[in-house]
Amino acid sequence: MFAVQTTILYILICNAMKHKTLFQEFEKKTFQLHFNDGIFELLFGGMFIIYVINSYADNIGRENPLLIRLLIIPLTLILVSVKMFITNPRVGYVKYSKTRRKKQKWLLLVGVFAQVIPLIAYFLSVKGIIQTEQKSQFLSLFIEFAFLIIVFGLITFFTDYILFFITGLIYAFGVPFSKFLEPWLHTRNYGYGLISLAGLVFLFYGIYKLVIFLKKYPKTKTDEL
Amino acid sequence: MSYKILSDIISIDKTIHEPVRIAILSILSIVEKADFLYIKNNLEITQGNLSSHLNKLESAGYIEVEKTYKGKRPATILRITDSGIKNFEKYLQIMKSFIELSGV
């Protein structure tokens, strides 16, 4: 029995000794538990679909297409509520290490930065302080493309969850890159197609993950020892 | 030297030397504290099984168990002790030396 146990543990610890940061990898895995509920997939999927619907409405000349875009607010509120009151309680309580908590603080800063910078840029362009002439359009598209990749890349780095980077790539290629190609392709449909396809895939995958999560981690009345 | 390693292996801490308890100490060594539910979800074992292992670790003084409330619900918060960290590191060191001796 002792030999069997030692053999099993030997295999585990052998890998631990090969990879100095196994416990860091292990810590990432435990942190991933918070992403198993599919909420982020549902959020990004919903946002992509809303964006495509909004763009279509804008193209057909529908008045006040911005109202469609504002649907992102109730979508976000609903999914955040689901995360806080339904899925997170099923994961359990944990206070992560100082390293992980530091990463979470940086993540918050990146999130704030990602909201504030575009608002400032929009304000400056409306006021005419930033000129958006034809010759600088490509530069502004490049900046938008790079901004998306960098912001979502940083979010991925701090959360160790690749979905954020994939979302950033889809958004970057679907929006500023398709605008960049428009003078040659004479259409932005490929961008809309990419985003709507990604949106549908994310939505279905998010629903699947949520169903599996709720089955795997049922509500417990007590977590007593 | 190799005889010392073998004698260390024979007298290894059997409280730690059990797959579930190694996993519990591994999780608690990478977080500051966690509740019973979080550990159970990560290990995917039954409540009874986890309770039995936690009791053994608590009796050995390797973990601290704090019973509290989250709102109206009772909650069990777990934390590895200094003795737990020290003995877990010692255990890993012995296993590492043994593996190195094996030449694999």
Please indicate if any CB of chain A lies within 8 Å of the CB of B73. yes
Task: Tell me if chain B has a CB within 8 Å of the CB of A94.
Answer: yes
Residues 6+ apart with CB under 8 A from B77: A93, B33, B34, B35, B65, B66, B67, B68
Residue with tokens 């964006």: A51
Specify the pairing of strand B73-80 against strand A94-96: unpaired
Helix (H, G, I), strand (E, B) or coil at A117: helix
A92 within 8 A of B34, measured Cβ to Cβ: yes
B42 → chain A, closest CA residue: A30
CA gap A14, B31 in Å, rounded: 23
DSSP A33-90: GGGTT-HHHHHHHHHHHHHHHHHHHHHTT-S-THHHHTTHHHHHHHHHHHIIIIIHHH
Residues found in chain A: 225
Question: In three state form, how does the secondary structure of chain B look?
Answer: CHHHHHHHHHCCCCCCCCHHHHHHHHHHHHEEEEEHHHHHHHHCCCHHHHHHHHHHHHHCCCEEEEEEEECCEEEEEEEECHHHHHHHHHHHHHHHHHHHHHCC
Nearest CB among A9, A26, A221 relative to B95 is that of: A9
Q: Measure B89 CA to nearest chain A CA, in Å.
A: 12
The contacts found for B80-85 with CB under 8 angstroms, 24 or more apart, are: B80/B25, B80/B28, B80/B29, B84/B25, B84/B28, B84/B29, B84/B57, B85/B29
Q: Do A30 and B92 touch (CB under 8 A)?
A: no
For residue A94, the SS3 value is strand
pLDDT in tens, A109-135: 888 888 788 778 777 777 777 665 555
**pLDDT above 70: residue A15:** no
Round to whole Å and give the CA distance between B29 and B32: 7
Does residue B40 sit at the A interface (CB-CB below 8 Å)? yes
Determine contact: B10 vs chain A, CB below 8 A.
Answer: no
Distance from CA of B42 to the nearest CA of A (A): 7
Alpha-carbon gap, residue A15 to A12, rounded angstroms:
6
Does B72 touch chain A if contact means CB atoms closer than 8 Å?
Answer: no
Q: Which residue has the higher pLDDT, A9 or B57?
A: B57
Identify the band that residue A7 occupies on the pLDDT scale cut at 50, 70 and 90: very low
Q: How far apart are CA A189 and CA A201, in angstroms?
A: 18
State which residues of chain B have pLDDT below 70. 1-2
- List pLDDT tens digits, range A65-102: 566 777 888 888 999 999 999 998 898 889 988 888 88
Q: How far apart are CA A92 and CA A223, in angstroms?
A: 9
Q: Which residue has the higher pLDDT, A58 or A199?
A: A199
Per-residue pLDDT, averaged over A18-39, amounts to: 76
Structure token pair of residue A66: 């911005």
Which amino acid would we find at residue A72? Answer: I
| Beta-carbon separation of B95 and A27 below 8 A | no
Q: Is the Cβ of A91 closer than 8 Å to some Cβ of chain B?
A: yes
**What confidence score (pLDDT) does residue A16 get?**
47
Nearest CB to A23; choose among B30, B54, B70: B30
Phi, psi of B81, deg, nearest 5 = -90, 170
CA–CA gap between residue A204 and residue A19 (Å, rounded): 36
d(CA A207, CA A215): 12
Please say if the pLDDT value at position A202 is more than 90: yes
Q: Choose the closest CB to A95 out of B31, B75, B76.
A: B31
pLDDT tops 60 at residue A3: no
DSSP secondary structure letter of residue A92: -
